[in-house]
Structure 1
Amino acid sequence: MTLTPAQARSAFRAGLRVPTSGYSPGWTQANLISLPREHAYDFLLFAQRNPKPCPVLDVTEPGETSASIFAGDLRTDLPAYRVYRDGELVEERAEVRDLWRDDLVSFLIGCSFTFEAALIEAGVPVRHVEAGSNVPMYRTNRDCRPAGALSGPLVVSMRPVPAPLVATAVRVTSRYPAVHGAPVHIGSPAELGIRDLDSPDFGAAVEIRPGELPVFWACGVTPQAAVMRSKPSFAIGHAPGHMAITDARDSEFLVP
């Protein structure tokens, strides 16, 4: 859990396959989506129109395998990847070197794992960290603003928060707008079209204890939901919860 980003990336490259919540505290984690150049402008516009779920931290040139905030290899140094063809998830794998293309443009998108250490420091429990599991994530009934050929639903992550600490959770996370910022909804999952919190679309369910409210943050899996709806010919993303650990500090994205 206290590995440097380089050490964590080396462990993932060697075969460690785990959700990265809690890894390399103090270092920013990021979602990955890599698309052919022909779709890159549409995605950049999609992200600009939907900054809550898609806060862009970095963008590569076509074919590049590293980024200014990620000195590792984007093809091998995440714990797990998902591969899409024509919008269909065709496989999940440990590395994607043999699938990499010279026309792929990679986007690193802010991740809410980045503010979890600040939540814990403020006394707000983070249940999936306590349980050693992946965060639960859900597709919602809220559509993102489309851009070009891309459209899709908002995806959210959920953390149960004791009712007296909800205001603290909002205050803490609102200071990290580049990694999703404040929650998008508190309380009723039905208002987001979520029927069963015990059946997340991605990640793992967590216990909600008496006196706790489900709190929902915009999630960087939203780009993959857009890929599934819009069906570009090819895309690579991180496996949900298995993030890119960057060389940027969390403090770089903290606002007063």
Structure 2
Amino acid sequence: MLPSELRTSIRCGKHQTHTSGVCQDYVQANLVVLPKEYAFDFLLFTMRNPKSCPIVEVLEPGQFQSKYGKNSDIRTDIPLYHVYEDGQLVDKKQRIDEIWSEDLVSFLIGCSFTFESQLIKGDIPLRHIEENKNVAMYQTDIQTEKAGVFEGPMVVSMRPIPDSLVQKAAEITALFPKMHGAPVHIGDPAEIGIQDITKPDYGDFVGIRDGETPMFWACGVTPQAVALHAKIPYMLTHSPGCMFVTDWKNEEYLQEGK
């Protein structure tokens, strides 16, 4: 399926689940939408925390079409959205065009789903894709660097990787700095504040087998944890695992980085 076809399917309400493993050769992005008055502070937050919030694109106030998606609409082309008020998740919506306003500024943030196709091409198995599940995501005790009202814990995504392929997985993902890059932690989850690996804060746990090591990458769900911690008055985001899929090919991204 081409990204344009997927976006149409999402917009029509046919695809309503996560986008992990979908359109694997194309860049996927997280979404954060804020009132204009908070946009500078959030942009500064992303610059101070590039590992968890690598910027792909910032849209002008009121704009909703990404340059990376022909005829795209970030208000309707994501399977599920979260609405936060005063740091609380107050609603989940399949589209946000009916609550859109001209003072809203949209940020597209790199997503680790982008490098998954390269891991698979490198013969590194990804169980959540094999089992058609969302990736497991956890809130950690790693603190982000504050900018204005924005501060709080880093969220990470976890993938169990065969021991013999851990170094290879780290090297492949390091090629994608705008998609969270190399892992922030490898091994014992307790070292980054995860007390029960079987209970992710977002997504689905797929088990860690003998001979496998859990690997953790910074995650674009971090702004949602920040919204809860900092009690942001108003923010719209993607639902964890439900991404904006662009027309930008992974290979084009890699070529631009050289």
TM-score (norm 1): 0.97
Q: 1:64: which partner in 2?
A: 63
> Are the equivalent residues in 2 in contact too, given 1:50–1:145 (CA < 8 A)?
yes
Task: Confirm whether residue 197 of structure 1 aligns to residue 213 of structure 2.
Answer: no
Q: 1:76: which partner in 2?
A: 76
Instruction: Tell me by how many angstroms 1:93 deviates.
Output: 1.5
Amino acid in the other structure paired with 1:58: E
> Are the equivalent residues in 1 in contact too, given 2:31–2:244 (CA < 8 A)?
yes
Q: How many residues align?
A: 254
Structure 1 stretch displaced more, 226-235 or 107-116: 226-235
Q: 2:52: which partner in 1?
A: 53
- Please provide the CA RMSD for this pair: 0.9
- For 1:109, what is the secondary structure of its paired residue? strand
Task: Confirm whether residue 156 of structure 1 aligns to residue 168 of structure 2.
Answer: no
Instruction: Tell me by how many angstroms 1:70 deviates.
Output: 3.0
- Mark the runs of 5 or more structure 2 residues left unpaired by the alignment: none
Work out the CA distance in 1 between the residues paired with 2:73 and 2:175: 30
> Are the equivalent residues in 2 in contact too, given 1:39–1:232 (CA < 8 A)?
no
Task: Confirm whether residue 224 of structure 1 aligns to residue 224 of structure 2.
Answer: yes
Work out the CA distance in 1 between the residues paired with 2:24 and 2:154: 27
Q: 1:146: which partner in 2?
A: 146
Work out the CA distance in 2 between the residues paired with 1:7 and 1:185: 36
Amino acid in the other structure paired with 2:58: V
> Are the equivalent residues in 2 in contact too, given 1:28–1:247 (CA < 8 A)?
yes
> Are the equivalent residues in 2 in contact too, given 1:57–1:109 (CA < 8 A)?
yes
Instruction: Tell me by how many angstroms 1:231 deviates.
Output: 1.7
- For 2:119, what is the secondary structure of its paired residue? helix
Amino acid in the other structure paired with 1:242: C
Q: 2:6: which partner in 1?
A: 8
Instruction: Tell me by how many angstroms 1:149 deviates.
Output: 1.1
Work out the CA distance in 1 between the residues paired with 2:99 and 2:198: 34
Amino acid in the other structure paired with 1:47: T
- Mark the runs of 5 or more structure 1 residues left unpaired by the alignment: none
> Are the equivalent residues in 2 in contact too, given 1:178–1:253 (CA < 8 A)?
no
Amino acid in the other structure paired with 2:38: H
Work out the CA distance in 2 between the residues paired with 1:9 and 1:52: 27
Instruction: Tell me by how many angstroms 1:223 deviates.
Output: 1.1
Amino acid in the other structure paired with 2:21: G
Instruction: Tell me by how many angstroms 1:25 deviates.
Output: 2.1
Amino acid in the other structure paired with 1:131: E
Q: Which whole-Å deviations, capped at 9, do the CAs of 1:203-229 have from their partners, x for residues lacking one?
A: 111121111010000000011111111
Percent identity over paired residues = 50
Summarize the alignment of residues 1-256 of structure 1 with structure 2, pairs less than 5 Å apart.
Answer: 3-15=1-13, 16-71=15-70, 72-254=72-254, 255=257
